[in-house]
Every structure is written in structure tokens, then in C-alpha cells.
A and B are shown apart, each in its own frame.
Chain A
């Protein structure tokens, strides 16, 4: 994992702990959002709004629809930050 990815993961962790009553140690790259972390599609909408605020990166619901795991989230944000 690159340094940038680790930074993104750290940011994601903060948001997920705040929004979803999760334990930090459960938020690992291979964790599946729905099955392991109980984050559904409605939650995902709220999550994107919050991530937009805290990371200043805009992710559309379409870009997020393929996301299944925490690693996928990291990938989306890495790709988008690279474009900025």
C-alpha cells in the first residue's frame, strides 16, 4: 500500500467510525461494505456526501456503484485525487 493509499484509508476510517458505529480494527482493505460492515446503498449515499466534505473529492453514485470493499473505496479515491 502506498503512502497516499494509507492516508486515504486513515481518512476513510475516521468517517466510517463516526457514521456507522464501527470499530476501527474492522475497517481493513478486504472488508466488504455490505456483508462485513453492514453499510447498505442508502448509507453509501450519506457516506459519499460526508467523504466529499472531508476529502474534497466528489464521487458520483455511478462511480460508487461498483464498490464492494474498502479497497475499492480506496481505489476510487486514489484515482480521483490523482486527477485533481
Chain B
């Protein structure tokens, strides 16, 4: 009983330290880059690379810290994602809070779509803007995403749009398909599994199962649009067909 209490206290302390470090890191990176942004002569592309490298390193540090505290374990089978050259659309299901952190930790230089809150939050806005991420409230979201993919960036999208409410049922919104159809970019699907379920929508960050969380991330074979759907049909039908295809794909994959 006492032992379990101690273990819980250790876990919660570990989680608190990890998240605090993460927040502080984001804050410091944000401040540093806010200062850098006023220095003339540094091209935006260079700043973007620097900041994305910082994000990659920070996320790596964060998951290593979580693992050191025994809060998470992980296994990555992400060969197809690691080998994908530029201009790929990486899609993943979204069971937990730190899914994007895991992906950022594994590979450098990802672009992603961020919530409006982060775009305007005073701690995160400098980072997400200079990292060249895409705000999800922008009316130009699709053209921006297409532009980034065409420029050779790899873009992460969670087609569910938000964390899954109940762990098993996958409901995709059409946004990822909109981008895929508009850009014609090849898709790398990633399956994120977390056992037991925690850090779901509505869960608190400090509610952690005794044995910690076990993550398995797997990436599948690259998917090309014209092999999945009839690309001669009107785009509006392609969005719908592709969304259905991907939903089924994930349903089968999870089973």
C-alpha cells in the first residue's frame, strides 16, 4: 500500500517535472526566437530550420524524460516514414495528448497544422509562427498546406482533427483528404497505439496507470492517390471517397 503510494507520488512528480521542463523549454525557445526575429539578415527559411531543429530536440528530450521516470515506454516501427523524402502527407490517428510530440521526436523538420489557441497564445505564438506551421483557422489552410508540400516539406495531419473520444472508433474529418486531393501528395499512414488508454481527451495529464503507458508507432506503405480512388471524378467526390477509404484502412489496421 505504502509502496504503491510512493510509486504514484514518484510518477506524478515525474510527470510534473517533465511537463514543466517542456513548458519552460517552449518558453525559452519562444523568447530566443522572438529576439532572433528582430536580427536583420537571417532568412526566414534558416530561422524555420533552426526552430524546427529545436522542436525536434525538445520533443526528444521530453519523451526521454518521460521514459526515464517510467511514465512511458515506446516502440517505433517507422521505416516508411523515416525513408519518405520531402513532400509527403503523414497522417495518424490521435489517441493521446503527446502523439505529435512523439512524431516530432522521431523525425526532424515536420510541418504541422496548429490550433488557433496556440497561434495566439503568448508563450507559443512565436514558436509556431516562425516554425512555419499552419494555423487551422486560416481560410487559406488548404492552399498553404499544398504550398508547403510542393516545396518539399513533410506535413503531419491528424484526420480526426482532435483526440479520439472513445479509443476504438475512428471518425475522420475531410480536411486531410482535402489536402491530399488538392496537392496530390503521397500519403504515409501512421498508426499510434497506446496501452492502456490514458491521456485521452478529457483525461488529466497526471492520471497515469501504475505500469506507465506503452506506445507503439507503426508506419505503413506509402499510398498514392490514384491507386486509392478515382481521380477523374469531381474533387468533392474524391474528398469523400478518400475519407471513407482512410477510415476503413485504419479500422482494418487497428483490428
Chain B, range 230-255, C-beta contacts under 8 Å to A: 234-237, 239-240
Q: Report the bound CA distance from A20 to B239 in whole Å.
A: 10
Please report the number of residue pairs spanning A and B whose Cβ atoms sit closer than 8 angstroms.
22
Q: Report the bound CA distance from A43 to B181 in whole Å.
A: 12
Chain A, range 6-62, C-beta contacts under 8 Å to B: 18-21, 40-43, 46-47, 50
Residues of A within 8 A of B178 (CB): 42
Q: Evaluate whether A21 and B234 lie within 8 angstroms (CB atoms) in the complex, with A40-B174, A42-B142, A42-B174 already known.
A: no
Min CB gap A45→B, angstroms: 9
Interface size on A, residues (CB 8 A): 11
- Are A43 and B237 in contact, CB atoms less than 8 angstroms apart? no
- Are B239 and A19 in contact, CB atoms less than 8 angstroms apart? no
Residues of B within 8 A of A21 (CB): 237, 240
Q: Report the bound CA distance from A47 to B234 in whole Å.
A: 10
In the complex formed, the residue of A with least CB distance to B142 is A42
- Are B174 and A19 in contact, CB atoms less than 8 angstroms apart? no
Q: Which 3 A-B pairs have the closest CB atoms?
A: A19-B236, A42-B178, A46-B236
**Taking beta carbons and an 8 Å cutoff, which residues of B are in contact with A?**
139, 142, 174, 178, 234-237, 239-240
